[in-house]
A and B are shown apart, each in its own frame.
Chain A
């Protein structure tokens, strides 16, 4: 690794990236984009457009079949296993299917990333209790995932993804199982983290959230990526265009 690579200001950089699962057609085609530190993006697109695959490339679940992916200034193909693990520690992921561990309580599930990095137990207790209180699950700390509702499980999954204050937060449909009020509350949690410097990518179908929170979109259509400016910008742009048109008329 060169010093240039470590000093790179970009969190993620995709250059001509394509990806396919073994024996299948390309799921992602010629993707170019970069994520600046502290940015917030929604990832949108129809089901099957490649959102989960793109997130998988971002959290090093896959390697690109073509093109180059750089994370935290390092080209992922050439990384050692240990270096990959260190990169993964800087990423928080909220999975669509939560992936909570059934044999652990809500508290222990959330504490998992901190235990992996060897945080002190007293600190773990403090941080996890605070966060679970914030997501409204302080009474369910000792409950096991199977004793919790879908929405509660989702909040546990989100708490687990953010507990170690990751540099990059990736969320795959994080609000799919919660009501609108809770969805907004969770998005506010992501916003709080974003204000503290965390780069956030939220894959969602919920256009209401996209409209409310006005962040740019990484929009996927059949594996092709388009960067759409924040909703407000293009609604403003659209209205300006409309105004222009009406004036001209």
Chain B
């Protein structure tokens, strides 16, 4: 038996296709969103490690193995001067003998005179994590004015990677935006088809005194219900697959990708069907309302 409030709708094909379209789009969306979150998590952890400090080395021996003597002190002064005037650098200080001993102890032992070894002088540079220095420029300045100075190259590489990852994240957001747009267009197309199919019914109930809000609400609930069912199925299918991907990465010992979602992120992924249902509700509401304006 029909539900008493179901009188606005007959059985039509859009009723069948629409949830499946939502299923497919949400399946892809959940997967991309999950992947995006993993990239974001990795990005955050790398950024934390990279952005807090930086090390500059001043070689104490030249390329032929000769002690550079007083030149080292001059280079340190020049390097400190460059570093301290670089925007984004909060502070720069040369590591003391004690600090160097402590640093090298795991490799050479605690009782070795560090000054007798050909170990470079290290300058610890504190950087502003909110406004980090432009590392490429800093590296160039140092190489011009202090040729014996080198900056930790892996940090520059990581900074590049972070930049790339940021672009990847922006791309993922763009793709998700496109998916949201596709869902909206699907809803508009489906709603228009359904309205066309049900035109005689709508005209009749409109003539009987049904208010615009009554009709738009019915359609919006009808579509959002189907969107929710399709999307929930899409999420249900995508999450286990995402889980399998995470397991795969976790078993790869040298993975650099973060494989954990935070509770909030799990919540966002599980909330996708609600977001799609809401999007569907708003889009349907507006589409039906503009359609009804054609009638007196």
Task: State the A residues within 8 Å of B (CB).
Answer: 59-63, 81-82, 84-91, 93, 99, 101-104, 108, 111-113, 115-117, 121
CB distance from A128 to the nearest CB of B (A): 12
In the complex the two chains form, is B209's CB within 8 Å of A115's CB? no
In the complex the two chains form, is B207's CB within 8 Å of A59's CB? yes
Question: Is B144 part of the contact surface with A, judged by Cβ < 8 Å?
Answer: no
In the complex the two chains form, is B204's CB within 8 Å of A101's CB? yes
20 CB-based A-B contacts, threshold 8 Å: A60-B207, A63-B296, A85-B209, A85-B210, A85-B212, A87-B209, A89-B208, A99-B204, A101-B200, A102-B10, A103-B2, A108-B2, A112-B7, A112-B205, A112-B208, A115-B7, A116-B209, A116-B210, A116-B214, A117-B209
In angstroms, Cα B295 to Cα A63, docked, is 11
Asked if A88 meets B214 with Cβ closer than 8 Å, knowing A101-B201, A112-B7, A115-B4, the reply is no
In the complex the two chains form, is A84's CB within 8 Å of B207's CB? no
In the complex the two chains form, is A88's CB within 8 Å of B204's CB? no
Residues from chain A with a CB closer than 8 A to the CB of B207 are 59-61, 88, 93
Task: State the B residues within 8 Å of A (CB).
Answer: 2, 4-5, 7, 10-11, 200-201, 204-212, 214, 296
Residues from chain A with a CB closer than 8 A to the CB of B4 are 108, 111, 115, 121
Contact of A86 among B2, B7, B201, B209 (CB under 8 A): B209
CB distance from B11 to the nearest CB of A (A): 8
Residues from chain B with a CB closer than 8 A to the CB of A82 are 211-212
* Cβ-closest 10 pairs across A and B: A89-B209, A88-B209, A103-B10, A85-B211, A85-B209, A116-B210, A113-B208, A99-B204, A116-B208, A82-B211
Residues from chain A with a CB closer than 8 A to the CB of B206 are 85, 88
Residues from chain B with a CB closer than 8 A to the CB of A121 are 4
Main secondary structure of the interface of B (DSSP, over half): loop
In the complex the two chains form, is A99's CB within 8 Å of B211's CB? no
CB distance from A197 to the nearest CB of B (A): 19
CB distance from B237 to the nearest CB of A (A): 33
In angstroms, Cα B207 to Cα A90, docked, is 11
CB distance from A118 to the nearest CB of B (A): 9
In the complex the two chains form, is B205's CB within 8 Å of A84's CB? no
CB distance from B216 to the nearest CB of A (A): 12
In the complex the two chains form, is A108's CB within 8 Å of B7's CB? yes
In the complex the two chains form, is A115's CB within 8 Å of B5's CB? yes
CB distance from A99 to the nearest CB of B (A): 5
**Most chain A CB within a 10 A radius of its CB, from B200, B206, B212, B296:** B296
In angstroms, Cα B212 to Cα A117, docked, is 13
Chain A residue with Cβ nearest B204 = A99
In the complex the two chains form, is B7's CB within 8 Å of A84's CB? no
Query: Apart from A84-B296, A101-B7, what 16 extra A-B contacts exist at CB < 8 Å?
Result: A86-B209, A88-B209, A89-B208, A93-B207, A99-B204, A103-B10, A103-B11, A104-B7, A108-B2, A108-B4, A108-B7, A111-B4, A112-B7, A113-B208, A117-B209, A121-B4
Residues from chain B with a CB closer than 8 A to the CB of A87 are 209
